[in-house]
Structure 1
Amino acid sequence: MTSSIPSMELPSSTSKLSRMYDVLINFTGEDIRRKFVSHLDSALSANGLTTFLYHDNAVKPMHIQEPILNLCRVAIVVFTESYSQSAWCLHQLQQIIEWHETYCRHVLPVYYEIQPLDVRLQKGDFGKAFKATAHQTFSAQELEHAMSRWSHAITKTANFFGWDDCNYRSDAELVDTIVKSVLNLPVLSATRFPVGLQSHVKDVIEIIKNKSMEVCWIGICGMGGSGKTTLAKAIYNQIHGTFTEKSFIEDTSEVIRTGGHAKLQEQLLSDLLKTEVKIHSVEMGISMIRERLFGKRVLIILDDMNENDPLDLWESSAWLGEGTVIIITTRDEDLLRRKQVYSIFQINVMNPNESLELLSWHAFREAKPKEEYHFLAKRVVAYCGGLPLALEVIGSYLYERTKEEWNRVLLRLDNIPQHDVLQILKISFDGLSNQKEKDLFLDVCCFFVGEGRAYVTKILNGCGVDPDNGIRVLIERSLIKVKKNNKFGIHPLLLDMGREVTREISKKEPRNNRLWLDEDTKYAVSENTLFSSQGTKVIRRMPTRSYFFDPYPLAR
């Protein structure tokens, strides 16, 4: 019998594969799709993860090809009794393993109403169906080699850490366990494309291991956009499971700016003690930190610390428990040296090969540029100076662009002074397709950092704006992020860029200005103007729409 490549179908939610998917679910069977897989898909989506799975009623069939996997970051393989009856699944599994071996992506098996040993060794009914499927799919000449490839893919997958449904009381418990494990994978929660990241993680964790009998202070420093936060997240994701008390505070400078030192103290104590803490003065906070953390082994990461420690942790070696790890990320290496942080990890800019790979992942969804774009990509890389943030934002902007559009970007880059990162980032903002998308980005910068996506959507819908498409575009352009808790986040340099744009608009149009908010700002609305909690007209005049803010919102 002649060989045939099984076909797959597009997910029902999209007509083309132009977006990134966090998790691909590989499975077969209508029953499993309607039951377990639908519950797993729903739970992953509810936690802010995008999933890819074929749908039996999709319109456009297509061959399986590597770029589909390049759009995904984790594969969950659901083994069932009928799995080996599907040549489509077996062929995709073979590609998943090739993808894993090439790009070190995660593959997670689930055994649903089947024994893991039967899968690993292709025994029992699973093994019989596996042989029958191969004989039906391949010619006699191809059979042995094809079965060997399929068998290798199954065995390799079955040797990864996974879940056996018989070890759980219900599907709900199994799904909950899988989702929590997926959310904690470094590849998902640190960065979309971890080019060159793992070697840095390994180096820092080696320092932590060598200082396991003391309070370990580590400083991560480097210029803005060099990947300090990403490295800190990857380290946190890898070691946080060994700590009972832990806290990762992202962009501490912004927390302090909007809420003061007491707000930072509240966030730290609330994270470590797993309960809401209210601090009424900085002195009270310092006292509580010492009292409640005395003798405890804790993990604390303070990201983007640009001033002396408001938490009074510098002398903590005398009162925190051994094995404590405190990591500071900062652009100010002198700050670390003044406080005698001896383990300082300096992040250098990416080398040209790493830079080209990172740009390619964002611009082409592949590790290398398309041949006809190779020279253009190398020129763009040269302008980005090895900064991951610039490569990510410009690469995301150039995704699916023509050569003419690439050349227009290069002309713009040629007129930007060297090291002016904000102007490089502004290319993506200026390239947004309409004013609504630009307004939405500026509104996120000024009002909505740290706010829940559903809450912001409700506010904007209330004033006649449909933000869903705009939010999707801003995420795809890497201009904003939606974190695991479904709240908006934005890189400090992009925040600076947005504020600079706002200042420029305010100079040209004094009646249409935005001011970013401090901790005491509450919102009311009257005559198309936002008011502070004291009723002063300070926030933003809005000739086309108004925001309705609840001064006492429900939990977001």
Structure 2
Amino acid sequence: MHSSVNTITSWLKDKSSDTAAILTIWGMAGIGKTSLARYVYELHYNDFERSSFIEDIGRRCTQQVNTLFDLQKHLLVDIQKGNLQKLHDVNWCTIKIENALLHKRTLLVLDGIDNFEQLDVLVGTKGFHPGSKIIITTINASLTEKSGLFGKNISFKHMKHLLEGLDETESLQLLCCHAFKCNDPKEGYQELSRKVVKHCGGHPLALKVIGSSLRNEDVVAWEDAIEFLEKEPNPDIQKFLQISYDSLRSENEKELFKHIACFFVGKDREFTETILKECGIKTTSGFSKLIDRCLVTVGRKNELMMHQLLQDMGRDLVRHESPKKPWKRSRLWHHDESYDVLNQDKGTNKIQGLVLAKKVVEDDTLGGTNTFAKRLPQIQRLCNFFSKIWCLFVWQSATTLEEAKVASIIEDFKSQFFQDCEDRSLEKLEYEPVTKPNISSLSSVSMVEIESMRKTAETSSPDAI
């Protein structure tokens, strides 16, 4: 957080250009964008002729009618120093704001913008007085460029700043501040505090909520709270994080997010895209939207990454499809739940994908690999991850599982899927050649991911997997 303060302070003090400048601070909900913007605003607002801080714009617009009109009046009072004439409507206010911003060097913070139309209403499209600084906080990285300002021939600089949260030391201090009212854990709470910090992953809101809830609690209460957090997200944190998820406009984007949360965190992006495209999920634009909203990031090795709290939220959304009946959920990611559903013959057409341990598939109680898929009649593709290096696809008819046939594997897919894998050594597999069926008639495609804790060295046939 200190580095972010230094970066923005340098940006605010930069007077090397005669033009105005816009800074977009973006990051996941609750990561500290408002607190950061408020802090630097309080430090520097006196350096400008006019200043205004408009907070929580998106939420206020959602919850109240005529909110934008009220916010416009608030802004005009600040930048005209009380010289407020009679205002008729939103359009009239926008004209007044545009004129005021053109004539005074202004520091303006627009916090919690979630729609580019809010920007158009609050700052107009005519630009700013030279030397003005505009700070926008949002969960959407591409939102600012969609405003009317960027469609005009207006001279200003635009910079983006991704806020990624607190480091471990800052996280521990924030947690202790709310739990113990000091900067360090109390005696006997050190290890428990570190577990909470690890769970929160640098997320300030989560640290505040959990820390406050554990204030004056004994060690047993801390242990119970940590155990509960590992099973189910804190509802107060969940509610706030879901703002980013709810901002997704299409069901395709929401389904993509839940697929990744349940199955693909840590998996190669290109590999994941290939699998999901076959499942009818549009990934090209979908990934861009998720990345823009900080719901997903991509690591240095092209692996998909997701904040632990966001993954918990995504899985909780699926869990609440049927809290007590896992077989009625769309996805199963716990090996035990997947096993129980298969072993009790409770597979339904609702299930789109599940995760199994390799030993579960080989378990005689499930009938081995030749028959276990019959327990899930809608599954039309089984994706088996025994390691990061190779996978086996089982193609089957849309009408009968008995007609399922093993497709040509590895040789057909390894160049497409594994050219960027960390371990490039593919094992040679022996199997009986079969004809790959025509899959054009498949109405939907679902997945089973079969995980193994170690690499399989040799496999004599697909049935032995």
Shorter-normalised TM range: 0.3 to 0.5
RCO comparison, higher one (Cα < 8 Å, 6+): 2
| TM-score, length basis structure 1 | 0.38
TM-score by length of 2: 0.45
Structure with the larger helix share: 1
